[in-house]
Structure 1
Amino acid sequence: MEIREAADEDWPAVWPFFRRIMAAGETFTYPVDLAEDEARGWWLLRPPNRTVVAVDADTGTVVGSAKMNNNQHGNGSHVASASYLVDPDHGGRGVGRALVLDSLDWAGAAGFRGMQFNAVVETNRHAVRLYERLGFRIVGTVPGAFRHPVEGYVGLHVMFKEL
């Protein structure tokens, strides 16, 4: 797998799984019916922020993507944040782990002192386990802050890793 900077030309490959993940409504706080133009603007970030794609080395297929940015501005701009998408058809192959590790490398090289995830849905157990295995810890949970389409109101974890 190769992880590289995303180009505008990658969006048509990202959009189908972006739309599928958002429409499911299980893991992101984005609107489930987010329009493509708006989604593109939210996902494809410009420097100094960063968006990458994970590409299957054998087929050239985009199998995931991540966006990275400062979590806050001003006096909070020394902490990074990131979001990850793995095409559900390519899950379980280490794509998410590779994207998280890439984002941590980027954040460290960019001088950030930590990485914070503001809204990890507590029922997204696979992601929570992955983040914890990579050194993140849950620093708080907002009870009932996420309306899961199956589980009802569930918590959103705030997770943090010092860099």
Structure 2
Amino acid sequence: MSTDRADLRIRPATPADHDAIWAILEPVYRAGETYCIPRDISRDDALADWFAAPFTAFVAEDRGRVLGTSHVGRNRPGGASHVANASFATAPAARGRGVAAALVAHAKDWARAQGFRAMQFNFVIATNADAVHSWQKAGFAIVGRLPGAFLHPAQGYVDALVMYHDLTGGAET
């Protein structure tokens, strides 16, 4: 399958996308290497979490086929409500084809349009080198390291990173 980013359409997810989203999330969650989600989470609980307020879920599709998903929303309420957060997952067959890059660009644009001033990823697993590289390429800086904060199923306790991007065009932190 080849994906030309020009053919990639990102749109709000609907209940009709649940099967496709679960097909993407399930292997990621079962592997337990990149998200702080129970490896045995049920389909219904996973989808409820992905679609839960304050997040808005999106899908990236090419010719009607869902290749990736994201959810974007407020990181924390109150005095931090101007900082967005997001999560992303790409179908295994679509990895390396620009889907994640398109989803993160869309997330940043969507967050700016909603009035967010920054985006923060609270818990990027340091051993997830592809994600760390992708987010840095998208303008995110590593602003914190949580030593041994994540229990990786194969590598034991590994670091988690806090990554940040100023969406206002100001200086990166």
TM-score range, shorter chain: over 0.9
Matched position secondary structure for 1:66: strand
CA apart distance, 1:33:
0.6
After the TM superposition, which parts of structure 1 deviate over 3 Å for at least 4 consecutive aligned residues?
Answer: none
The answer to whether structure 1 residue 66 and structure 2 residue 70 are counterparts is yes
Contact 1:45 1:67 in 2 (8 A): no
Distance in 2, Cα, partners of 1:15 & 1:39: 8
Distance in 2, Cα, partners of 1:107 & 1:16: 26
Deviations 1:1-59 (A, max 9, x none): 1111100110011112211110011110111111111111101245x6311001113xx
Q: What percent of counterpart residues are identical?
A: 44
The TM-score, its normalising length taken from structure 2, stands at 0.89
CA apart distance, 1:61:
1.2
Deviations 1:65-112 (A, max 9, x none): 000010000111110000001011210110000000000001111111
Matched position secondary structure for 2:96: coil
Aligned-partner residue type, residue 29 of structure 1: C
Pick aligned residue for 1:95 from 76, 92, 99: 99
Structure 1 unmatched runs, 5+: none
Matched position secondary structure for 1:26: coil
Matched position secondary structure for 1:39: helix
Partner of 1:17: 24
Partner of 2:142: 138
Aligned-partner residue type, residue 43 of structure 1: W
Distance in 1, Cα, partners of 2:47 & 2:32: 18
The TM-score, its normalising length taken from structure 1, stands at 0.95
Structure 2 unmatched runs, 5+: 1-7, 168-173
Matched position secondary structure for 1:55: strand
The answer to whether structure 1 residue 8 and structure 2 residue 15 are counterparts is yes
Partner of 1:108: 112
CA RMSD of aligned residues (A): 1.1
Pick aligned residue for 1:32 from 1, 21, 39: 39
Matched position secondary structure for 1:41: helix
Matched position secondary structure for 1:101: helix
Aligned-partner residue type, residue 147 of structure 1: L
Distance in 2, Cα, partners of 1:135 & 1:95: 16
Distance in 2, Cα, partners of 1:89 & 1:23: 17
Partner of 1:78: 82
